[in-house]
């Protein structure tokens, strides 16, 4: 069973959307487990303080190293990767998601406030991961995103259909356009080739569309794709 442990000061918002749809069914089927750890339980003062003012001054509050470290020590006694969700982290990619889905699970620390004391990041070997270049009010939604992306890849969670569409992103291209009945909707027809029954032609069209969309929308992905393509021809 793939195990997700989430360390948070907002335990009540879990499983949230992870209880629905594919992830929820897989959770009920024990394909994965969710262990939500309330960081506040690891405070020692009567006010149950998890944050304090930043050394050196400045705005906001900082999550205390000692409290978070105790929570990690209690929750993560095994070899699972320990990640801190943070806008400062390495951007989460499908390749990383695939690697994490192959692990026994993940330990996810959710930051809140202005940040987390740097010493617990170093002291507990937390790797910072970001889900995108925007700032959320905390790591919880990012943790849910990461878990959802991993869980759908676990054996038995998705049907064949979905796993095939997965391959296109894994290859570094955006997905080709999809259509379903009716054949004409508001005057817009399904592209002729898709109704031809010629599977080779359909595959070629989809590939060309995936490349076109990637080139038009995501110059970054397109450059990386071309570099890999050239590299594989040279090697």
Q: Give the residues lining the site for ligand ADE (CB under 6 A).
A: 85-87, 111, 130-132, 134-136, 138-139, 142
CB of 84 vs ligand ADE, minimal distance in Å:
8
Nearer Cβ to ligand ADE (101/142): 142
Unique residue bearing structure tokens 């959770």:
27
Nearer Cβ to ligand ADE (111/172): 111
What would the two tokens of residue 22 be?
């594919």
Full strand arrangement of the beta sheet holding 51-52? 51-52, 62-63, 115-116
CB of 53 vs ligand ADE, minimal distance in Å:
20
CB of 208 vs ligand ADE, minimal distance in Å:
34
5, 106 contact by CB (below 8 A): yes
The residue number with the shortest CB distance to ligand ADE is 142
Residue 188, Cβ density class (10 Å: 0-12 exposed, 13-18 middle, ≥19 buried): exposed
Alpha-carbon Rg for the chain in angstroms = 22
CB of 88 vs ligand ADE, minimal distance in Å:
8
How far apart CA 129 and CA 90 sit, in angstroms, is: 5
CB of 210 vs ligand ADE, minimal distance in Å:
27
Nearer Cβ to ligand ADE (54/138): 138
CB of 227 vs ligand ADE, minimal distance in Å:
26
How far apart CA 156 and CA 153 sit, in angstroms, is: 8
How far apart CA 66 and CA 9 sit, in angstroms, is: 14
| CB neighbour list of residue 123: distance below 8 Å, 6 or more residues apart | 65, 69
Nearer Cβ to ligand ADE (71/136): 136
Nearer Cβ to ligand ADE (130/214): 130
Nearer Cβ to ligand ADE (88/201): 88
């Amino acid at each position: 069973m793939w195990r997700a442990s989430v360390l948070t000061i907002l335990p009540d918002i879990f499983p949230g959307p992870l209880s629905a749809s594919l992830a929820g069914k897989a959770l009920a089927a024990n394909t994965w487990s969710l262990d939500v750890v309330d960081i506040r339980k690891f405070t020692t003062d009567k006010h149950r303080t998890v944050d304090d003012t930043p050394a050196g001054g400045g705005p906001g509050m900082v999550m205390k190293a000692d409290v978070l470290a105790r929570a990690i020590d209690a929750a993560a006694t095994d070899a699972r990767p320990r990640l801190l969700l943070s806008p400062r982290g390495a951007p989460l990619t499908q390749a990383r998601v695939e690697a994490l889905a192959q692990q026994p699970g993940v330990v996810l620390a959710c930051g809140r406030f202005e940040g987390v004391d740097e010493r617990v990041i170093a002291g507990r070997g937390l790797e910072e991961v970001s889900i995108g270049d925007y700032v959320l009010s905390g790591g919880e939604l990012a943790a849910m995103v990461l878990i959802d992306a991993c869980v759908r890849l676990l054996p038995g969670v998705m049907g064949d259909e979905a796993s095939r569409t997965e391959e296109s992103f894994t290859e570094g291209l955006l997905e080709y356009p999809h259509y379903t009945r009716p054949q004409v909707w508001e005057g817009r027809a399904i592209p002729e080739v898709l109704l031809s029954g010629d599977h080779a032609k359909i595959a070629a069209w989809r590939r060309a569309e995936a490349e076109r969309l990637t080139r038009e929308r995501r110059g970054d992905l397109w450059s990386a794709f071309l570099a890999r393509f050239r590299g594989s021809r040279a090697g």
